[in-house]
Amino acid sequence: MSKENICIIYGGKSAEHEVSILTAQNVINAVDLSKYCVDIIYITNDGEWIKGEHSIENHIEDVEQLRLKTNELTPISKLLESSINGQSYDAVFPLLHGPNGEDGTIQGLFEVLDIPYVGNGVLAASCSMDKLVMKHLFAHRGLPQLPYVSFLKSEYEKYKHNIQELIQNKLDYPVFVKPANLGSSVGISKCTNKEELISGIEEAFKFDRKLVIEQGVEAREIEVAVLGNDYPETTLPGELVKDVQFYDYKSKYKDGRVQLQIPADIDEETATTLRNMAVEAFKATDCSGLVRADFFLTEDNTIYINETNAMPGFTQYSMYPQLWENMNLSYTELITKLIELAIERFNNKKDIKYKID
């Protein structure tokens, strides 16, 4: 049986560049090389696209091997035109986090070039990336959320005092200050007073022009993995068990101070509700491929949806693959399934008419 050609794209012009490289190493080492010929494209921090000179044949032992270099840059469309063996790509697998990677921009490029790609489409990626737009869609779907305030940098510069008063009148401390368009906890601060709030806002504006300030709540953090296209499937919920008050970028990726409890210790009725809500969130943002839905669960079993992540952490030990591992779908099998879903979605779109006879 002939192998299919895929291209793994990673790196990116984003604050989550390093996370993307680590993810790429994990996926490359797990992909089924008996089924796929694998090319790689590295996007540098400056936005340059560099294609590997050879298809992947062995494990990547050192992440530094993935920081490709070249003296000759090739147009992006040419890099994606065909694989190293001369055949067109059956699918590309973008392992990009943050702006220009999971916000719909690179997905739009793949659409224009008519290339099948793993993960969410343009609309789903962009509205899942923008926390404010996502909240509007959740509200329309009737999903319960905690109170929040959102504003632009230009508005804050002009009405700083009024916005600070609005936050303190509408929300109770602690609050979480978040850039609207970043993931992996980059630029997020937990604030317990006005001084910390002002500092958190200033920090978050380094990463985005729009912020979301969310009400904090004493609750467990529960996550559900969703997989599929039109008929998505879900996992049993898992829980983040932390020995830190706030699950920031450092504790998430560097300190290892977060443990995953899979499945979460919750009753069957609550688990079913969470799984159903995860599907509702998936549909609310018109997702396909993969999504991780994140929830808060209070002591009295009240559920609030926090967010969906259209390109969740995807190292072998991240919550999303581990949730599927618990459902007897291995990391390698999960990667294969995602590629198959990408090709399925691409083939289904061929039935859409683009011109009038």
Tell whether residue 293 is among the known ligand binding residues: no
Q: Judge whether 218 is annotated as a binding position.
A: yes
Phi, psi of 297, deg, nearest 5: -125, 115
Which residue is catalytic, options 14, 16, 102, 189?
A: 16
φ, ψ (nearest 5 deg) of residue 95: -110, 55
Among residues 55, 128, 184, 189, the one annotated as catalytic is 184
239 is in an annotated binding site: no
Q: CB–CB of 16/23 below 8 Å?
A: no
Secondary structure of residue 151 in the 3-state scheme:
strand
> Residue 176, annotated ligand binder?
yes
82 is catalytic: no
257 marked as binding residue: no
314 annotated binding-site participant: no
Report the b/e string of 224-236 with b at 16+ CB within 10 A.
bbbbbeeebebbb
Name the phi and psi angles at 314, rounded to 5: -135, 25
**184 a known binding residue?**
yes
Selected catalytic residue, list 14, 55, 128, 318 = 318
184 as an active site residue: the answer is: yes
Going through the chain in order, the beta strands assigned E by DSSP cover: 4-11, 36-43, 49-51, 91-95, 148-152, 175-179, 189-191, 210-215, 220-228, 233-234, 238-242, 258-261, 289-297, 303-309
Q: Is 177 annotated as a binding residue?
A: yes
Phi, psi torsion values for 339, nearest 5 degrees: -65, -45
Is position 18 annotated in a ligand binding site?
no
Say whether 294 counts as a known binding-site residue. Answer: yes
185 is in an annotated binding site: yes
For residue 197 the two structure tokens come to: 């709030």
> Is the alpha carbon torsion for 93, 97, 101, 103 positive or negative?
positive
318 is catalytic: yes
Amino acid at the residue 37: C
How many CB atoms within 10 Å of residue 98?
Answer: 24
CA distance 183 to 154: 22
Chain centroid, CA 144 distance in Å: 21
Annotated ligand binding at 189? The verdict is no
Check the annotation: does 209 bind a ligand: no
217 assigned to a ligand binding site = yes
Annotated catalytic residues are 16, 184, 318
Annotated binding residues for ATP, as ranges?
Answer: 131, 176-178, 184-185, 214-221, 306-307
Which residues line the annotated binding site for Mg(2+)? 294, 307, 309
Could you tell me which residues are annotated as the binding site?
131, 176-178, 184-185, 214-221, 294, 306-307, 309
